[in-house]
Structure formats: C-alpha cells, structure tokens
Amino acid sequence: MDPTQAGKRAWLHRRLKFGSVSVPAWIPYAFILPFFVIFCVFMLYPIVDTFIISFENWSASGSQWVGVHNYRLVLTDPAFWTSLLNDAFILLVQVPIMLFLATLLAVALHSKAIRFKWVFRLLVFFPVLVDAVTYTIAFQLIFNTNFGILNYLIHLVGFGTVNWTGNAWAARISIFMVVTWRWTGYNAIILLSGLQSIPEELYESAVVDGAGRVKTFFKLTIPLLRPILLFCAILSTVGTLQLFTEPYILTAGGPGSATETPMLYLYSIGFQNYNFGLASAGTYILTTIIGILSYLQIRASKGGDYHA
C-alpha cells in the first residue's frame, strides 16, 4: 500500500480525547471549516476580484484591461485630493479634540468619587450602539435651519440663524459634532481599560511629591496612556478615512465638496457613475494611504510603551 494513503487512513481513524469524550481527529476541522468557507466567499474572493477590476474598464457587458490607467485617473482627479484634504482636516482638528475629551471622560469614570460607575460607563458607551443612520437623521433634525433645536438655543442667547448644512464651515463643524458625539465614549472606555492597568502606587508617589491633579494628569497619566492613545488614534484614523454615513445623510458632501470624504467620492464614481474599475482603483489607493498613516503613527510613538 502507498505510504501516503496509509497515513491518510491512519489520520482519519485517529481519535482525540477531550476529557471523557473521544471524537475522530477530523471533527475539530469540520467545526472551523464553515468559517474559512464564508471568509473565502465573502472576504477573500471580493478582495481579489476588486483588485483585478481595478485594472479593467469594467461593465456588466464585459471588461477591457487598461493596466494602471484607473489609478492614474484617480491620482490626477482634483475631486479625490479635495476629499482627502477634507479628511485630513478632520484628522488634524476633530480627532485630537475627541481623544482629549475621551481621556478626560476616562479619568472621570476612573475616579473613586463616582458611585454606580457601571451606569455611567453604559451611558458613555451607548452612542456607539445606536445605528449610524438613525442618529445621523436625529442630528439632521437638530441642525435644521428652520426648526432645529440648536438654532433655537442660539436665538435664546441673541445670535442669528446658522445654516448648518448650507455653509461650508458650519457643515464641517456639524460633521465634527456628530462624529465626536458617537465616538468619544467608545474611545473613553478603551482608555479607561488603560487607566485601570496603571498601578495606584504611582499616583500615591505623585501626591507625596506634591504634584497636583493637573500636573499628575499631564506628567503621569498622559505619558502612561501613550500606547492606548496610539491605538485609539489608529482606530480614529482608519474610521475617519472610512467616514461615509454621517456626511452622506447630513450634508451629502456639500455644500459644494466641503464635506465630501474619500468614501463619498468612491461611492459617487462607483454607484452613481457606475465606473467600478475607477472605484476599485480608488479603494486600493485609500487602503494604501490608511496603511501608511497607521505605520507612521506607530513609528512616531515607538518607544512609548508602558509595562506595568
């Protein structure tokens, strides 16, 4: 008999013991097989197919190989760079503010003075559980020029009506507010886990040395949270470059292209202009940008790890 065939038969008849239970050796592989099938069909195949389409002038009736022409078109399209600049503005302004607020919130939740912490943690985390479309529509009503509650409050303090979706800067601020509301609590909970790993002895030593709360926060808490802040910054970078629902529903990328993000740009050329080859090329360009930014963030913070 062929040794290979004999080995296969021996493996098929081999049994594994889990406590008092004995099962055939192939059973564990049968349990994980559905995952790999689903992954290959719904993840791996679309990734590979999209990469191939990015080199084609694709349509339902057929496709034509065009090489890197789609990549060249995306990289020379002013609208693509405008969308990237809009995202860069969010990254440089909104993300730092959000992470700072999240850090303050995490410190407050970590305080011994707060009772029923689980209630506050649930309330803080709640926004991220709300469906993106639902909460964006709610904010659309809040920002409404004619009957929105935000303009009503502005009138109460003596200021005029603000066109939150018709003015470029007001539209950007509205996007900032919506994204900050949704993700600040999420990042705060992640940062809270980092705070809980910091030994209390360090804070006690700081008190003995005469450090106040503000000095302790900036000189002790922030440096020790650096790895967690880096993790949150990377998540926020990826999330910002994938921002779609909020600007699509709230401002539709307007006024003009003031709030158009790369995802809105790709949606427009892919599902409105039906140029799937161009959209696929833009997707891989955006993925490359996300990877480069994440790598640079890790390199910039290298050496700041904290070990308890």
1 falls in which pLDDT band (50, 70, 90)? very low
Same domain for 153 and 215? yes
In a domain, 61, yes or no: no
Lowest mean pLDDT of 6-10, 75-79, 160-164, 288-292, name the range.
6-10
Residue 141 has pLDDT above 80, yes or no: yes
Domain count, the chain: 2
58 within a domain of the structure (yes/no): no
Q: What percent of the chain has pLDDT over 90?
A: 34
- The verdict on 31 and 106 lying in the same domain is no
Same domain, 201 and 265: yes
Q: How much is the mean pLDDT over the chain?
A: 85
Q: Give the model's pLDDT for residue 21.
A: 67
Whether residue 151 has pLDDT greater than 80: yes
Per-residue pLDDT band at 285 (split at 50, 70, 90): very high
DSSP for the chain reads --HHHHHHHHHHH-EEEETTEEEETTHHHHHHHHHHHHHIIIIIHHHHHHHHHTTEEEETTEEEE-TTHHHHHHHT-HHHHHHHHHHHHIIIIIHHHHHHHHHHHHHHHH-TT-SSHHHHHHHHHHHHHS-HHHHHHHHHHHT-TTT-HHHHHHHHTT-----TTTSHHHHHHHHHHHHHHHHHHHHHHHHHHHHTTS-HHHHHHHHHTT--HHHHIIIIIHHHTHHHHHHHHHHHHHHHHT--HHHHHHTTT-STTTT--HHHHHHIIIIIS--HHHHHHHHHHHHHHHHHHHHHHHHHTTT-----
- Range(s) of the domain holding residue 257: 72-300
How confident is the model over 69-120, as pLDDT tens digits? Answer: 999 999 999 999 999 999 999 889 999 999 999 999 998 888 877 777 788 8
- pLDDT recorded at residue 11: 55
The tens digit of pLDDT for each residue in 2-34 reads: 555 555 555 556 766 666 667 677 777 888 889
pLDDT for residue 264 is more than 90: yes
